[in-house]
Structure 1
Amino acid sequence: MGLSSKNTIASPSHILPSIAAFASLSITFVIIYKVDNFAAQTKTVAGHNLEPTPWHLFPPKTFNEQTRQVRNYKILHCSYLTCGYSSNDDESDLLLSRSTKAKASGKKCPDFYRWIHHDLEPWSRTRISTTHLKEAREFAAFRAVIVGGKLYVDLYYACVQSRAMFTIWGLLQLLRRYPGMVPDVDMMFDCMDKPSINRTEHRSMPLPLFRYCTTEDHFDIPFPDWSFWGWPETNLNPWDEEFKSIKYGSQETSWSKKAPRAYWKGNPDVGSPIRTELLNCNHSRKWGAQIMRQDWAEEAKGGYEKSKLSSQCDYRYKIYAEGYAWSVSMKYILSCGSLSLIISPKYEDFFSRGLFPGKNYWPISDTDLCPSIKYAVDWGNAHPSEAEAIGRGGRDFMGSLSMDRVYDYMFHLINEYSKLLDFKPVRPSSSLEVCKESLLCLADAKQRELLERSTAYTSPSPPCFLQPPDSNFINNWIQKKKKTIKDMEDMKLKG
């Protein structure tokens, strides 16, 4: 007799679907795990999987606005799949750039562009090797490589806020503005406010590191800062828009009706002795100054409505004081058209070397701070026409620094730097290509709005003409500037 149906082994028609379902779930789990793991290791310009720079710690970025699966998809899609499907707009731009090359050279660059040669002079004889870059990497937040008109980025650390994203966007816009003209290049960048390549310590082997500022004691190469394309964390618009807004706001009140005091508003709690001392000058009658403490946390809650730069130009005098190190605020203060009182700056960005005391600003001594501010205010109130002219000189200087000129400076700096490389730049194996679409893909709504508004288009003319190196010009400029500052300080001593 055969076995009863109760004891019969299950037929393959029942077990195979179960095995298939289990296998499918296992594969799905493995795929999800692999994708999740891969995405978690992918570094992006938005800061995914990046730790803060060890030389300036700040809270790591968090990305909790999406589910893990959606976030993983976005990271992988933006990082690996977007640039291959980017638009073909650049093809027409490239054709236009070729016709642009055939035209006569542009007009002469502003004199302060000559500092490009000065900044790169340390490598004029030794040139820049892969060893230089390898050593510079120890101080860099990211590496930017341009090959064949495409940008590749190798990320090491997360820059504070959106500095990396907007700096890299600036490089992409340079490629769009002068397509086919930007040479192959390999650069190391840091995004913090304090130079790190000291001339004494690194004298035997200067390291080429780009950042937003430098000093006479450092080799760091100044590059236009991120805020020229916008600063979403503080509601600052792209530079051309912000300058027009500040200028318009400053003209709503005539010079005679502006408050006859010096004004400063900022955060004094950044480890800055100058800003700490500045608090002692907060007395309108005694020192002629109004010093306001900025609470960024409270300002952020209010959408920075009380910090609009266009509404801070109702004073005849505006004070610039460096913070922890270099401060991005100088260009906005100068744009007011008020007489800018600049307190003995230690740090220089790419354009500040073009400023001249008595023409664009009034120098303030950091060793006699409050009396120096008082003297400048008293002098300005006694000489209103001269004070207004100097303030207007600062605003006119910043007005001449349009984004066209910013891109020209970037172009010449990168072009001259590329001539010093003793190797042919190639795409690093650990880097990712970055294009307009991939960066916009990773941006949040506010970032994307500013990025799109700061999009560059192909220039109808070539960059301005960069004059050849002239160390005598630089040295004479420095000495003339120092003498003028001393003469203006002597005016105060003579009463």
Structure 2
Amino acid sequence: SEINIKPWHILLGGLKEGTTRIPWLNREPYAYWKGNPAVAETRQDLIKCNVSENQDWNARLFAQDWFRESQEGFNKSDLPSQCTYSQKYILSCDSTTLLVKPKYYDFFTRGLIPVHHYWPIKDDDKCRSIKFAVDWGNNHKQRVKMDYVYDYMFHLLNSYAKLFRYKPSISANATELCVESMVCGAEGSVKKFMMESLVKVPANTDLCTMPVPFDPPTLYATLQRKESSIQQVESWEKS
């Protein structure tokens, strides 16, 4: 809530609406990024790829001042309103996603396949890599999709629970928490988002089925496919 990220089902609806405002072929033909560059050296390096009087790497990069945004009502940081570029840094907006080679991974990142789910960007030569990706992407329409977020969370928590080596029990001094006790002490956007994310009725669809874990040969084949895709892109960049 401190940066005004809405509950997922509300944000998803806004993103779906945002993707329909401007068709992909009519969007700005540039790579787009907005964030706080001060928090990481790799972000400061990325900002160097911004357009200047002497060079255009086909990137439009914006430094985000979250303190100023909080004072002005987050008018310039609404994610659905940013679906105006053909290449982006998030898996949304129906735009090709550019992903700088990560040092750390999100919970879903390891399952993404280069060129299929995203376009890989070199971490040691970002500007040239971004320019090539944008030039390529503007000639090849890509579609990305993100579904079953809550289903995944359920499966993840359920899998963690199976690892417990003890049987949970309610201690004698435990205090039961209810929705009212959690919400009453909250204020502002924290309270607003808590109420908006409150699940009032069960889902009317079946839970998705998680695929079985990879066996060693399948895992090896997947890793090989990812590495081959990255090497293919690097060879295209050199040609």
TM-score, normalized by the shorter chain, greater than 0.5: yes
Say yes or no: does 1:350 pair with 2:120.
no
Structure-2 residue corresponding to 1:489: 234
Say yes or no: does 1:438 pair with 2:181.
yes
Answer 1 or 2: which has greater helix percent: 1
What CA deviation, in whole Å up to 9, does each residue of 1:348-384 have, x standing for no partner?
Answer: 2223333222122111000111100011112223x1x
Paired residue for 1:420, among 149, 159, 163?
163
State the one-letter code of the partner of 1:411: F
Distance in 2, Cα, partners of 1:452 & 1:298 = 26
Structure-2 residue corresponding to 1:466: 210
Say yes or no: does 1:409 pair with 2:152.
yes
TM-score normalised per structure 2: 0.87
User: What is the SS of the residue equivalent to 2:38?
Assistant: coil
Say yes or no: does 1:477 pair with 2:230.
no
What CA deviation, in whole Å up to 9, does each residue of 1:303-343 have, x standing for no partner?
Answer: 0101111221211112x3xxxxxxxxxxxx22112221111
Distance in 2, Cα, partners of 1:252 & 1:412 = 34
Paired residue for 1:249, among 15, 18, 21?
18
Distance in 1, Cα, partners of 2:187 & 2:82 = 29
Give matches, 1:31-430, under 5 Å: 232-270=1-39, 272-283=40-51, 285-318=55-88, 320=89, 333-381=90-138, 383=139, 386=140, 388=141, 390=142, 392=143, 394=144, 396=145, 398=146, 401=147, 405-427=148-170
State the one-letter code of the partner of 2:7: P
Q: Single out whichever of 305-314 and 455-464 deviates more from structure 2.
A: 455-464
Instruction: Choose 1 or 2 for highest CA Rg.
Output: 1
Q: Cα gap change, 1:374/1:452 in structure 2, threshold over 3 Å: closer, same or farther?
A: same
Distance in 1, Cα, partners of 2:179 & 2:2 = 21
Deviation of 1:491 after TM superposition, in Å, equals 1.0
Q: Cα gap change, 1:461/1:279 in structure 2, threshold over 3 Å: closer, same or farther?
A: closer
CA contact under 8 A between 2:24 and 2:94: conserved in structure 1? no
Q: Cα gap change, 1:422/1:363 in structure 2, threshold over 3 Å: closer, same or farther?
A: same
Say yes or no: does 1:454 pair with 2:202.
no
Distance in 1, Cα, partners of 2:48 & 2:219 = 37
TM-score normalised per structure 1: 0.44
User: What is the SS of the residue equivalent to 2:220?
Assistant: helix
Deviation of 1:278 after TM superposition, in Å, equals 0.9
Distance in 1, Cα, partners of 2:16 & 2:205 = 27
Q: Single out whichever of 370-379 and 463-472 deviates more from structure 2.
A: 463-472
State the one-letter code of the partner of 2:233: M
Q: Cα gap change, 1:269/1:253 in structure 2, threshold over 3 Å: closer, same or farther?
A: same
User: What is the SS of the residue equivalent to 2:184?
Assistant: helix
Deviation of 1:429 after TM superposition, in Å, equals 6.4
State the one-letter code of the partner of 1:450: F
State the one-letter code of the partner of 2:133: A
Q: Give the unaligned 5+ runs of structure 2.
A: none
Deviation of 1:428 after TM superposition, in Å, equals 5.3
Distance in 2, Cα, partners of 1:306 & 1:430 = 47
Distance in 2, Cα, partners of 1:377 & 1:290 = 11
Identical amino acids, percent of aligned pairs: 42
Distance in 2, Cα, partners of 1:454 & 1:368 = 41
Q: Give the unaligned 5+ runs of structure 1.
A: 1-231, 321-332
What CA deviation, in whole Å up to 9, does each residue of 1:42-77 have, x standing for no partner?
Answer: xxxxxxxxxxxxxxxxxxxxxxxxxxxxxxxxxxxx
Distance in 2, Cα, partners of 1:465 & 1:286 = 45
What CA deviation, in whole Å up to 9, does each residue of 1:95-132 have, x standing for no partner?
Answer: xxxxxxxxxxxxxxxxxxxxxxxxxxxxxxxxxxxxxx
Deviation of 1:460 after TM superposition, in Å, equals 4.6
Distance in 2, Cα, partners of 1:309 & 1:432 = 38
Q: Cα gap change, 1:302/1:445 in structure 2, threshold over 3 Å: closer, same or farther?
A: closer
State the one-letter code of the partner of 1:371: R
